[in-house]
Structure 1
Amino acid sequence: MACRLLPNTYILLYIMTTSSHLYDESKIKTLSSLEHIRKRPGMYIGRLGDGSHPDDGIYILLKEVIDNAVDEFIMGAGKRIDVQIDETGLTRVRDYGRGIPLGKVVECVSVINTGAKYNTDVFQFSVGLNGVGTKAVNALSEQFRVTSYRDGSYAAALFHRGILVERDQGESGEKNGTAVEFLPDRELFPDFIYDVTYIDRRLWRYVYLNAGLKIHFNKTIYHSANGLLDLLTKELNDSNLYQPIYYKDQTLEFAFSHTDAYGDSYYSFVNGTYTSEGGTHLSAFREGILKGINEFSGKKFMNKDVRDGIVGTLAIKIRDPIFESQTKNKLGNTDIRSWIANCVKDAVSSELYKNSETAEQLLDKIIRNEKVRKELQIVRTEARAKAKKVAIKIPQLKDCKYHPSKDKPSKPGYENMVFITEGQSAAGSIVSSRDPMRQAVFSLRGKPMNVLGQRLNLLYKNEEMYSLMQALNIEDSIADLRYDKVIIATDADVDGLHIRNLLMTFFLHYFEPLVKLGHIHILETPIYRVRNRDETIYCYSEKEKEAALRKLQGRGKAKKAAETTRFKGLGEISPKEFGQFIGDDIRLRNVTIDSISEIAQVLSFYMGKNTPERKQYIMEHLI
C-alpha cells in the first residue's frame, strides 16, 4: 500500500525492539520540516559544538543570516549590514536591501523550499538555493524574530524553537531592509560562547569578496576597496616574489603570487561562501594557471613545478551551485571547468606579456622548483629503497583497520585518527586502550629534528621524519592523507611542549595545508586526579582542580579527605584510565591558522636561531 507524504514533511521509520518485535502503522512518525531540522541538526549545519571551533553550529547560523544580507548587496540593494551580538548570545543582523515581501515573511523563514532564491530574476548568484538556511536558524533558535521593512510598512514574526507565537504588521519610518534577531537554543548549544576571532575572520572575508560593502560590528567597520587583491596582500604580508597577478570580471575574480614556501595554498569561494575543501572551480583555476604560463613561455612545465609556492584567492559566481552538503565546503559543478580554466589561462598569459618583470620572476621560481624536484627524485629513490630493507611496514606505527577514501569519506562522528606520541611508555597506554578500528598510534623515538629552514630533501634523509610522512601517506599529495585527524599527544611538561612545537614546525614548514584544512589537533589529557573514597574527578586545569577539591572535601562536619595526583606524563596514566580520555569524551584542540603571513614570523621567533630575543621574551613574561 502506498504511503502519501504531506507537503514539506519528512518521514522517519523507527523499528521498535520489543518483546513482540511489533512493527505496524503506529510506529510510523511524521515530522514537520522544522521538527526534522531539530531532530537531525547535523544534516543542516554540520555540527553543534560550543563555539570553540570555527565550524561550530552557532557560526553557521550567523553565516546563513548574513548570507541573505550579502545577497541583497550582490543584487545592488543596500551597501551596509549591521551585526550585533550581546553578552547572552542574542544576535541581530540588519540589512538595507529590498526587504522580504511583507505577505511572505512567515513562509520565507519557516517553510522549507520557499524563497525568492529560486527565481534567477530576483537572485542571480545566491548561495542559499536549497531554501533551508534561515529556516534552520529559526528551528535551532530558542527565540527568532524577523522584521521586514518595505516602502513605509513593516511585517514581523516571532518564533520559539521554530513555532510561530506572534506576528505583527503596520506602518514604519525605517529604511527598507530586513532585520533578523535570534538566540541559539541552549538545549542544543548548552554552553555556547561566540569567539570574536572567528566572527572577525568571517566578516573580513565577506568584504573582501564584495568590494564596497560595509559591515558594522563591535564598533569596527569592515570594508575593502580592492576585493580579493586585499585578501591576498594581507595573507602574503610582503612575502610574495613578484607583484600579484589579479583579474576580475562579473563572474570570476582571482589573484595569486608565489612565495618561497613549500606547497600551494588557496582561499576559494563560490557565491560568497568559503569552500575550504575546494572543488571543481579550484581544480580549473590551477589548470588555467598552468596552461597560461606554458602558453606564455612556450614550454611544458609540470603542474607541481608551477604550483609549489603559490598562494591564491579565487571567487566565482554561478547560478546553480551544487555542493556536497548543506555546509557547502566543496563545489561539485563539472560544467564550469572549461570556462574557468580558459578564462584564467587567457588572463595569466596576457598579464605575463604585459609585465616582463613579473614574468621573469615567476619563471625563475618555477625553474628553481623544477631543479629541487629533480634533486629530490634521486634522494626519494634512495630513501624508499632503504625503507624496504628495514621493514615492509612502518615500525613506529600501530595502524587502525578503517581508513577513509576519496570515494567514501568518513561520516561526522566516525572519523579515524592517529595519535603521535613521545616514546613507548605513552604509546603503550594509548595502544592498550584505543579503538583499533578507528585509532592508530605513531610513537616517536625521541625529540624530532627542528626542520625550520631545512630543505625538503631532509625529509628523505631523516628516518623518523620519513616514517611519519609515509605513515600519513602525504608524500605525493595532502589529498592522500590516511587519517581524518592527526593528533599530537605529548606530556604536559617542558619536554612535551617542546616536542609539540617541533612537530608543529614540521607540519607548518612542509605540509601547511594539513593545518589550514583543520586536520591537526592537540590531545588534552588531565593534569590532576582528585579523589576520595566515593568519587574520582579528572582535572584539566588548576581551576578545575580547585573546584574538584572543594566538591570532594566538603565543608564542616561533612569534610572528607581528598587525594590529589599530578600526572606528569601520559605513561603515568593507566590504560584503563586512559580509555576515558580518548573515547567519546575526547578533548581536542584544533590547530588553526589566522593568516599565512604569520606562520613564517611565529616559527622564526619560537624555533629560529634568535636565542637572545627569545630569552629576553621569556624573562619578561615569566609569571
Structure 2
Amino acid sequence: MSELLDTNVRNASDYSEDSIRHLDDMTHIRMRPGMYIGRLGDGSHAEDGIYVLLKESIDNSIDEFNEGFGKKIEIDIKEDLTATIRDYGRGIPLGSLIPAVSKLNTGGKYDNDQYTASVGLNGVGLKAVNALSKKFIARTHRDGQYREAAFEGGQLVSDVSGETEEENGTYIYFEPDPQLFLNYRFHGEFIETMLRNYTYLNTGLAIFYNGRRIISRNGLEDLLTDNMTAQGLYPIVHLKGENIDIAFTHTGQYGEEYYSFVNGQHTTQGGTHQSAFKEHIARTIKEYFSKNYEVQDVRNGLVAAIAVRVVEPMFESQTKIKLGSLTMAPDKDKNGQPFALSGVSVNKFVGDFIKEQVDNYLHKNLDVAEVIQQKIQESEKERKAIAGVTKLARERAKKANLHNKKLRDCHVHLNDAPPKPKRGQDEVVDLRYDSSIFITEGNSASGSITQCRDVNTQAVFSLRGKPLNSYGLTKKVVYENEEFNLLQAALNIEDGLDGLRYNKVIIATDADVDGMHIRLLMMTFFLQFFPDLVKKGHVYILQTPLFRVRNKKKQEKPASDEVKKGATKGKSSAKTAESTESTEVSTGKSGKAVAAKRKIGRTEFETIYCYSEEERVAAIERLSPNPEITRFKGLGEISADEFKNFIGPDMRLEPVTLHKSDKVKELLAYYMGKNTMERQNFIIDNLVVEEDLVEEV
C-alpha cells in the first residue's frame, strides 16, 4: 500500500527538530489515565492498559519502518513486568527527545509532512507511557551522537548525552507503575498476537520478540491462514490496492469473522471501514450472481481481513480500537492544499475497490465463484428449513425479554452509545468495556452473585442445570432449545458480534466434575454456533476459591447492648454486628489469595480464600496453629457476603482461547463426539484425585 495519500511531495529524510511542534502542555495523565489509554486492568485482557503502553511504544517504530527507515525492531519483556523496544530508524532528534516523550501534543506527526498516514497521530502515545510508568527511559542514537532521558512517575531524573558507535534508532524502556496497574503481568499470548499483526501489515518487517524472529511474507493472507480454526472452502482471496488491502475466504463454520486495521492499528471493535467491507462484499457477490440472496446467507462462514490507510484518522478514543472517520482524508493539509482523497468517504472508497476487484476476481476464477454460490445456497436452505421455529423463538425471546426470569441485567452494555462528558467535565468514565454477564448453574448460585454484583456492569444469566450437548447439531437447536434461545437473545449475537451487549461472557460454575462438564457444554455451544465470540476474547471462566482457611483471633471487648440486640433481631441490625475487610496476601508462585478479616459479634476471624493447593498450604502456615479448613463444594453454598470478594476488583478470570493450531471441528469431535479409546486414555492419563479431604460446605 502507498504510504502517502496527499498530492504534495514529501522529503522523508527531513525529520528534524523543526518538524517537532509544541501545541499544548497538558499535565494530568496520571490523574486521568482513562482519557489517554482507556482501561487500566492487570494484563489479563488483551485491551488492558499495559498493552496500550507497549503498543504506543512500538507504533513510532512502525511509522519509521513505513517511511523506509529500520527493517528490524527488538522487543524484550523481562519477568512479565518490564518492556524494552529498540528500533533502527532515524532516531528522535536529540534536542527534541525530552519534549517528545514528556510534553503533550508534541510530535512530528502534527506537521502532516511526517508520517502522513501514521499509527500514532495525537502526540500522546509516548507521553502516556512515560507518565504511567514507575520508571521510563528514552534514548536516541543519531549520527554518532546519543541522548538519554530517564523519568520516574513522569518526572525527569536524569539527562545525559555524548558520542556513540550505536546504529541510529530509538530505545525505550518502561516499567508500568504498580500503583496504577495493580498486580499486573504481561501475558505472552497477547503480545505475540499484537506483534504478528504488525508483521502481517508490514511485510518485510522483522520483529524479534525476546530473541525470537517474527516475520510475514504474504501479509493478510498469512493472518487468515494463522488464525482460521476451520478449513477454507477455497484458497484465500488476497487483493491489494492503493491504501487498501483485503483478504477473505469462506469456511464451514457458522457466523462471520473479521480482522480490521487502520494505519497498522488493529481496530478490534471495527468501525466505518469494517462496516463498509461487510456491506459491499455482500452486495458485490449478490450482483455477480444476479440473485437477491439474503445478506446473512452470503456472509455466513466468511472470514475476512481489511486494512486501510487514512490521513488523520478519527477514533472513538485514544485506545484506537474503533474507527470513526467518515472520510479518507481531511479537506486540506496545513498549506491549504487538498489531499488526493479529500472528500472521499470511507464507505465509497472501500466499496469502489471491492466492486471492481472482487467482481473481476470472480469472473476470472469461476471455480471459486461456484464454491461461494454453493455455500450461499446451503446457508439459504438451512435458514429456510428453520424459518418457522426461528420466528416462533424470536417471538418467545421478545416476550421473555420483557420479564426474563433467567436474566438479571445491568445498566451499562457494550453496545451502548459512547458516553459524553457532562457540563463542566473534561473526562468521561466509559464503563462499556467493563460490562459482563455471569452464566451460572442454578438459582442458588445466581442468587449469591445477584446480591453482591455491581448492578452497573455485571449481569447474571441462570441455567437450570446442565445444558444440551449441541455438538453435531444444526443451528435449529439454538431456536428450539428455550435456554439457548434466551441466552442468544440476552447476548444479542444472533446476527453477529456487532450488537454484543457484554464485553465479557463469564461461565461461573462449581469447581467440581459437574461444574467442569457444564463449562465444557457451554464452550461447545459457543464454539459450534458463535466461534467468533471465543476468538475475539469475550469468553472467560470464573475462578473461584477451592478452600477457605481461617482462624479465630483474640476475643474482642464484649459487644454493646445495642449490637447484642442487633445480632438477634434480623438482617438490618445484624450488619452492625458483622463487618468484613478484604485484603490480599502473598502465597508464593501461584499469586495472591484473597484474605479477609471478619468480625462476628465479639469474635474476629482472619480468613484466606485459596485457589490452589499451594495457596492452601501457605495459608495454613500463616494462620497456624489449628486453623479451620473448608473445601467449597458449590457456588450456591457460598454466602453473598463472601462471594463479593470473588467478583470484585480481585476477580480471577481465565480467558478461553484458541491457538492457531486448534481446529474447532476436530476439537469438538475429540471431546464431545463419540466415546473413543483415544479419549478414554486421555481421561485416564489426566485424572486428578483429590486426596486431602477437608470439611465441605
TM-score strictly above 0.5: yes
Could you tell which deviates more after superposition, 148-157 or 435-444?
Answer: 435-444
Distance in 2 (CA, whole Å) between partners of 1:209 and 1:427 is 44
Name the structure 1 match of 2:195.
203
Judging changes above 3 Å, is the alpha-carbon distance between structure 1 residues 143 and 583 closer, same or farther for their aligned structure 2 residues? closer
Q: By how many angstroms is 1:108 displaced? A: 0.9
Judging changes above 3 Å, is the alpha-carbon distance between structure 1 residues 395 and 86 closer, same or farther for their aligned structure 2 residues? closer
Q: Which letter maps to 2:289?
A: S
Matched, 1:158 2:150: yes
Matched, 1:57 2:128: no
User: Which of the residues 350, 354, 357 maps onto 2:364?
Assistant: 354
Judging changes above 3 Å, is the alpha-carbon distance between structure 1 residues 400 and 81 closer, same or farther for their aligned structure 2 residues? closer
Name the structure 2 match of 1:393.
403
Q: SS of 1:480's equivalent?
A: coil
Write out per-residue CA displacement over residues 270-290 of structure 1, whole angstroms, 9 at most, x where no aligned residue: 111111100000011112212
Instruction: Within 5 Å, give how 1:396-415 maps onto structure 2.
Output: 396-400=406-410, 403=413, 405-408=415-418, 411-412=430-431, 415=434
Q: SS of 1:441's equivalent?
A: strand
Write out per-residue CA displacement over residues 118-137 of structure 1, whole angstroms, 9 at most, x where no aligned residue: 23322122111110001111
Distance in 2 (CA, whole Å) between partners of 1:214 and 1:450 is 45
Name the structure 1 match of 2:59.
67
Judging changes above 3 Å, is the alpha-carbon distance between structure 1 residues 520 and 72 closer, same or farther for their aligned structure 2 residues? same
Instruction: Within 5 Å, give how 1:243-254 maps onto structure 2.
Output: 243-254=235-246
Q: SS of 1:350's equivalent?
A: helix
Could you tell which deviates more after superposition, 40-49 or 309-318?
Answer: 40-49
Q: Which letter maps to 2:316?
A: E
Distance in 1 (CA, whole Å) between partners of 2:222 and 2:103 is 39
Name the structure 2 match of 1:302.
294
Name the structure 2 match of 1:26.
none
Kept in 1: contact 2:431–2:457 (CA 8 A): no
Matched, 1:566 2:631: yes
Write out per-residue CA displacement over residues 225-261 of structure 1, whole angstroms, 9 at most, x where no aligned residue: 1111111122236700011111112411110000011
Distance in 2 (CA, whole Å) between partners of 1:171 and 1:583 is 52
Q: By how many angstroms is 1:618 displaced? A: 2.1
Judging changes above 3 Å, is the alpha-carbon distance between structure 1 residues 376 and 406 closer, same or farther for their aligned structure 2 residues? farther
Q: SS of 2:620's equivalent?
A: helix
Matched, 1:76 2:68: yes
Name the structure 2 match of 1:90.
82
Q: By how many angstroms is 1:81 displaced? A: 1.0
Kept in 1: contact 2:24–2:106 (CA 8 A): no
Listed as ranges, the gaps of 5+ residues in structure 2 are: 1-21, 328-345, 420-428, 554-605, 689-697
Matched, 1:257 2:265: no
Distance in 2 (CA, whole Å) between partners of 1:214 and 1:387 is 51
Name the structure 1 match of 2:317.
325
User: Which of the residues 347, 352, 371 maps onto 2:381?
Assistant: 371
Judging changes above 3 Å, is the alpha-carbon distance between structure 1 residues 413 and 321 closer, same or farther for their aligned structure 2 residues? closer
Q: By how many angstroms is 1:328 displaced? A: 0.7
Q: Which letter maps to 1:165?
A: V
Judging changes above 3 Å, is the alpha-carbon distance between structure 1 residues 436 and 39 closer, same or farther for their aligned structure 2 residues? closer
Identity among equivalent positions (%) equals 50
User: Which of the residues 443, 448, 456 maps onto 1:429?
Assistant: 448
Name the structure 1 match of 2:231.
239
User: Which of the residues 614, 617, 621 maps onto 2:682?
Assistant: 617
User: Which of the residues 602, 608, 620 maps onto 2:673?
Assistant: 608
Q: By how many angstroms is 1:388 displaced? A: 8.0
Distance in 2 (CA, whole Å) between partners of 1:515 and 1:173 is 48
Q: Which letter maps to 2:512?
A: D
Kept in 1: contact 2:25–2:103 (CA 8 A): no
Name the structure 2 match of 1:540.
611
Task: Using CA pairs under 8 Å that are at least 6 residues apart, name the structure with larger relative contact order, 1 or 2.
Answer: 2
Name the structure 2 match of 1:442.
461
Q: By how many angstroms is 1:323 displaced? A: 0.5
Matched, 1:575 2:640: yes
Q: SS of 2:106's equivalent?
A: coil
Instruction: Within 5 Å, give how 1:442-521 maps onto structure 2.
Output: 442-521=461-540
Matched, 1:224 2:216: yes
Distance in 2 (CA, whole Å) between partners of 1:516 and 1:609 is 25
Name the structure 2 match of 1:556.
none
Name the structure 2 match of 1:420.
439
Kept in 2: contact 1:277–1:517 (CA 8 A): no
Distance in 2 (CA, whole Å) between partners of 1:219 and 1:344 is 39
CA RMSD of aligned residues (A): 2.4
Name the structure 2 match of 1:19.
none
Instruction: Within 5 Å, give how 1:262-301 maps onto structure 2.
Output: 262-301=254-293
Name the structure 2 match of 1:528.
547
Judging changes above 3 Å, is the alpha-carbon distance between structure 1 residues 148 and 232 closer, same or farther for their aligned structure 2 residues? same
Q: By how many angstroms is 1:579 displaced? A: 3.2
Q: By how many angstroms is 1:217 displaced? A: 2.0
Judging changes above 3 Å, is the alpha-carbon distance between structure 1 residues 99 and 492 closer, same or farther for their aligned structure 2 residues? same
TM-score by length of 2: 0.80
Q: By how many angstroms is 1:162 displaced? A: 1.6
Q: Which letter maps to 1:127?
A: V
Distance in 2 (CA, whole Å) between partners of 1:456 and 1:413 is 29
Instruction: Within 5 Å, give how 1:15-34 maps onto structure 2.
Output: 33=27
Write out per-residue CA displacement over residues 148-198 of structure 1, whole angstroms, 9 at most, x where no aligned residue: 222222222222222222222332222221122222223333533322222
Kept in 1: contact 2:416–2:432 (CA 8 A): no
Distance in 1 (CA, whole Å) between partners of 2:286 and 2:95 is 56
Kept in 2: contact 1:403–1:482 (CA 8 A): yes
Instruction: Within 5 Å, give how 1:110-149 maps onto structure 2.
Output: 110-149=102-141
Q: Which letter maps to 1:514?
A: L
Q: By how many angstroms is 1:49 displaced? A: 2.8
Kept in 1: contact 2:414–2:432 (CA 8 A): no
Matched, 1:338 2:348: yes
Instruction: Within 5 Å, give how 1:184-199 maps onto structure 2.
Output: 184-199=176-191
Judging changes above 3 Å, is the alpha-carbon distance between structure 1 residues 238 and 585 closer, same or farther for their aligned structure 2 residues? closer
Name the structure 2 match of 1:15.
none
Judging changes above 3 Å, is the alpha-carbon distance between structure 1 residues 487 and 169 closer, same or farther for their aligned structure 2 residues? same
Judging changes above 3 Å, is the alpha-carbon distance between structure 1 residues 401 and 165 closer, same or farther for their aligned structure 2 residues? closer
Q: Which letter maps to 1:480?
A: G
User: Which of the residues 289, 303, 316 maps onto 1:311?
Assistant: 303
Write out per-residue CA displacement over residues 423-465 of structure 1, whole angstroms, 9 at most, x where no aligned residue: 2232232334445555433222221111122111111222222
Distance in 2 (CA, whole Å) between partners of 1:331 and 1:51 is 24
Judging changes above 3 Å, is the alpha-carbon distance between structure 1 residues 219 and 527 closer, same or farther for their aligned structure 2 residues? same
Q: By how many angstroms is 1:584 displaced? A: 4.2
Q: SS of 1:547's equivalent?
A: helix
Judging changes above 3 Å, is the alpha-carbon distance between structure 1 residues 399 and 150 closer, same or farther for their aligned structure 2 residues? closer
Listed as ranges, the gaps of 5+ residues in structure 1 are: 1-5, 11-32, 554-559
Could you tell which deviates more after superposition, 565-574 or 520-529?
Answer: 520-529
Q: Which letter maps to 1:185?
A: D
Distance in 2 (CA, whole Å) between partners of 1:404 and 1:232 is 26
Kept in 2: contact 1:288–1:343 (CA 8 A): no
Judging changes above 3 Å, is the alpha-carbon distance between structure 1 residues 62 and 441 closer, same or farther for their aligned structure 2 residues? closer
Distance in 2 (CA, whole Å) between partners of 1:616 and 1:394 is 43
Judging changes above 3 Å, is the alpha-carbon distance between structure 1 residues 439 and 188 closer, same or farther for their aligned structure 2 residues? closer
TM-score by length of 1: 0.89
Kept in 2: contact 1:158–1:167 (CA 8 A): yes
